[in-house]
Amino acid sequence: MEPLLKVDDLHKAYGALKILNGVSVNVKRGEKVSIIGPSGSGKTTFLRCINFLEKPTSGHIFVEGKLIGEKTVSGKFVHVSDTELAKDRQEIGFVFQRFNLFPHLSVLGNVTIAQTKVLGLSQRDAEARGRQMLEKVGLGHKVDEYPERLSGGQQQRVAIARVLAMQPKLILFDEATSALDPELIGEVLRVMRQLAEEGRTMVIVTHEIQFAAEISDRIIFMDHGAVVEEGSPAKVLKDPQHPRTREFLKRIEQR
C-alpha cells in the first residue's frame, strides 16, 4: 500500500552547512513514528521541511502520493505558487514547541480562524467544530479566554485543537512538551496519546523516550542529519544495533 507520507532523499543545507544528508522515511496511514536524536541532529529541520516551512535543498515530500510544495513541469521539479503551497499545507498539521497561539484571538478564535479563512467554513460551523475540538483536549470551559491567561500546557492543548480543527491527514509534533514545566507535561502527553489511540497518523519529535516507547509503532534515531537506526520501540530502545544509538540512550538514561 502507498505510504501516507513519503520523504524521499531529503537534503537541507544552509549555505555550506549541511543539516540533512539524505533522509528517506515512509509513514503508513495511522502509523505513529517517533524521532529521537541528539540536539542539533536535524529533527526540527526535518519536520519543517515536510510542510515546507523550510525549503528542502533537494529531495521530495509526498502525501498520499501527491507532491508537497512542488510539481513536475515536463519532467522537472519546480516549486508551486504560494496558493498551491498553502493548499498542500492544509493536509499537514504542525504542533510547535512554543505553541505559537495567536495572542490577539481568543481560544475559540484560535481554533476557528483557519477554518473560516482557509477552509471557508461559516463562522457557526467553525465554532461548532472548534468547541468540539476544545472539548476533546479538555478545554471546553476556556473558549473565551485569551492565550496569555493560559498555562503552557493549556496553550499547547489549544494549539493541538487548532490543528485538529483543520482535519489534517497527518500531524507533526516538534517537541510539543519541551517548553513546559514538568508538572504540565502529562496533560499534553495524555492528549497526544488519545490522538494516537484514535489511529491518527503522527510524526513525533520528542525527548520523552518512555512516552515514545509506549505510543509509537516505530522509532527513528537520527544523528548528524541522517537516519542511523529505525525499528520497533522494543528493537531500537531495548536492543540498539548502532553504537551511536546506544551512546545516546545511555546519555538520556543518566539524566
Partner 1 sequence: MEKLLAVYVDHIDVWLPEMLFFSITTLEIAIVSFVLAVAIGLVLVMLRVSKISPLVTLAILIIEVARGLPIVVLLYIVYFVPPQLVSGWNWSWYNAFVGAVLGLGIHGGAILAEVFRAGIEALHKGQREAALSLGMTPAKSMRYILVPQAARIVLPPVANYGIGLLKETSLCSLIGVNELMNDAKSIAFADYEPMAVFLLAAAIYFAMSYPLALILRHVEKRLNFSR
Ligand X SMILES: Nc1ncnc2c1ncn2[C@@H]1O[C@H](COP(=O)(O)OP(=O)(O)OP(=O)(O)O)[C@@H](O)[C@H]1O
Size of the site for partner 1 (CB under 8 A): 32
Contacts of residue 98, defined as CB under 8 A and 6 or more positions apart, other chains included, come to 179
Least distance to Mg ion from the beta carbon of 77, Å?
Answer: 27
Contacts of residue 243, defined as CB under 8 A and 6 or more positions apart, other chains included, come to none
216 binds ligand X (CB under 6 A): no
152 binds partner 1 (CB under 8 A): no
- DSSP 8-state assignment for residue 234: I
CB of 218 closer than 8 Å to CB of 231: yes
Out of 7, 27, 31, 42, the only residue in the binding site for ligand X (CB under 6 A) is 42
Contacts of residue 130, defined as CB under 8 A and 6 or more positions apart, other chains included, come to 108, 111, 112, 115, 143, 161, 165
206 binds ligand X (CB under 6 A): no
Partner in contact with 40, chosen from ligand X, partner 1, Mg ion, none, beta carbon below 5 to 8 Å by kind: ligand X
β-pairing verdict for 58-63 and 5-14? antiparallel
44 binds Mg ion (CB under 5 A): yes
Least distance to Mg ion from the beta carbon of 216, Å?
Answer: 18
Q: Which three cell numbers stand for residue 97?
A: 514547541
Q: Contact letters (x/-) for ligand X, 153-172, by CB under 6 A?
A: --------------------
Q: 35 or 237: whose CB is closer to partner 1?
A: 35
Q: Which residues of the shown chain bind ligand X in the complex (CB under 6 A)?
A: 14, 17, 19, 37, 39-45
